[in-house]
Amino acid sequence: MVPAVAAPPLIEVKKKPSRLAELWSFRQLVFLLVARELKVRYKRSVLGVLWTMLNPLLLMVVYAVVFTTIMPAALPNFAIFLLAGLLPWIYFSTALLQGLMSVLVNQELVRKVRVPQAVFPISVVGSNLVNLGLSLVPLFVMMLAIRQRFTAALLFLPVGIAVLTLFTAGATLLLASATVFFRDVRHLTEVLLQVLLYLSPILYDVAQLGSRDSWWFRLFRLELRLNPMSYLLPLFRDPVYYGRIPSLSSLGIACGCAVAMLLLGYGVFVRLEPRHIHHF
């Protein structure tokens, strides 16, 4: 080994703004990307934005018919119960599946322009958030139609949606980066989401389960206690269906999960971001 020559002094770099500050300075881009997404999606469709609202409405009518006449469910207004679970789930899973491709889809741009890449997954979450907001309209219409009570707890809904959004953004950032390195993260996620749909209290409620004394049932209950969805989804269902605000402990766990997921997702994303370009 040749003894190391004294390294030349690194050039004095003026303190660069942090990654987060840079992302913040590109917030207008996020809004424009969300607007573009919605514009392009609804262009040239006669009903346009109505489709987003029609979809859950039709879903609800089907559920209402199925669970009231064909196979009556144990819970009253079961259609509202289901929808109050499905809407936040659809928001989370659609944003995740669409968002994990977002860096890859925008690779041409990433190769050419200096831009914080996090704007892409975040704007996908944003456009899905708008869709969730739109689907509240048919939900409320349906609630009126089947005389579901409107309570003051509904005022909590924006808080619940905000917490769910933080969690969704974190998960989407994490997987968007992972997908750049392994394309099959997408297929894996599709499968896992299918499983998670049944392992999460969406089509049923934890309180409904009762107690059976078998090892698999205890395992299932343990899974439900560890599943973040058990705390995140009630943020939406409790105010809408039960007319109540989730308990403080449940809310605390949900917030904890959301913040932890966001820190993990954004942290990993920012660390791996400079390497993305070599893996497109």
Partner 1 sequence: MRDGQITAQDVGIAYRLYREKVSTLKEAVANRFRHLRGAETFWALRHVSLEVAPGEALALVGHNGSGKSTLLKTIAGVLQPSEGALATQGRLSPMIELGAGFDPELSGHDNVFLNGALLGFTRKQMESKFDRIVAFAELGDFIEMPIKNYSSGMYARLGFAIAQDVEPDILIVDEVLAVGDERFQEKCKARIQDFRAAGVTFLFVSHSFEAARELCPRAAVLHHGRLAFDGAVDGAWARYRELARGPVPGPAIEA
Residues with Cβ < 8 Å from 96, sequence gap 6 or more?
168, 171, 172, 175, 189, 193
Rule CB under 8 A: say whether 39 interacts with partner 1.
yes
257 by Cβ neighbours in 10 Å (0-12 / 13-18 / 19+) ranks as buried
Q: Is 15 in the site for partner 1 (CB under 8 A)?
A: no
Burial (CB < 10 A; 0-12, 13-18, 19+), residue 260, is middle
Least distance between partner 1 and beta carbon 37 (Å): 10
User: Quick one: tokens of 128?
Assistant: 């899905």
Note the Cα 163 to chain centre separation in Å. 10
Binding segment toward partner 1, per CB under 8 A, in 27-35, 59-67, 142-150, 239-247: 27-35
CA distance to 73, 95, 208, per residue, from 65 (Å): 11, 29, 22
Q: How far is the CB of 115 from partner 1 (least distance, A)?
A: 6
The mark string for 189-228 relative to partner 1 (x by CB under 8 A, - otherwise) is ----------------------------------------
Please tell me whether residue 12 binds partner 1 under the rule CB under 8 A: yes
- Closest approach, Cβ 38 to partner 1, in A, equals 12
149, 183, 212, 225: residue in contact with partner 1 (rule CB under 8 A) = 183
- The answer to the question of residue 277 lying near partner 1 (CB under 8 A) is yes
3-class DSSP assignment, residue 44: coil
- Positions touching partner 1 (CB under 8 A) are 8, 10-14, 25-26, 28-29, 32-33, 36, 39-40, 43, 108-115, 181-185, 188, 274, 277-278
